[in-house]
Structure formats: C-alpha cells, structure tokens
Amino acid sequence: MSQKLPLVLALVISLASCSPFSSGPSEDEVEQALGIQIHDNQCVTAQGKPGYMCTFLTDGNNWSITRRLIKTDNGWQPVAGN
C-alpha cells in the first residue's frame, strides 16, 4: 500500500491539472465575453499578467485568435492588447 501512495498522489495531481478542473474560461464563457461563436478553445494561465490566454478558432472562417481574458464581477472580460 505504501508504495502505491505516491502513484495515487501523482494521478490525483495530474487529474487536477486537466482542463475540466481548470478555473479558466470555458468555450461558452469565451463566446459570451467576445460575442462570437468559437470552437477548439484552449486556455492557459497568462504569464506575468492576470487572467488566461485563450486560443480558439472562430466558427465559419476558422480564424485562429488568441485573447487574454480576466475574471471580473461581471464575468469573463477580454483585455485590449492582450
């Protein structure tokens, strides 16, 4: 049992870092913040700045866009200039 404990802890930590456990904006929240429909949303913690950097494809024309979003009292908001 004691040998399995580190493996179990590693698994729990690994699962906690997966996107379903992330506190970053969901695809629906990015759509609402930007007012456009998107898909393939991936958000990571912004380096040296508050919020998350989200990269996604726009529906229709499949433009790849990266925007920084921050959480406010009014929900997720895009930041001008990233």
**31 inside domain:** yes
* 5, part of any domain: no
CA distance linking residue 63 with residue 17, whole number of Å: 28
Give the range of the structural domain holding residue 71, as residue numbers without chain letter. 23-78
The answer as to whether 58 is a domain residue is yes
Q: Is the pTM of this model over 0.85?
A: no
The total number of structural domains in the chain stands at 1
Distances (CA, A) of 62 to 56, 59, 66, 74: 9, 6, 13, 28
Using one digit for the tens of pLDDT, what is the confidence trace for 55-71? 999 999 999 999 999 99
Query: Both ends of the chain: CA-CA distance in Å?
Result: 48
Arithmetic mean of pLDDT, 31-47: 96
Residue 3 near residue 22 (C-beta atoms within 8 A):
no
Do 31 and 12 meet the contact criterion of CB atoms below 8 Å apart? no
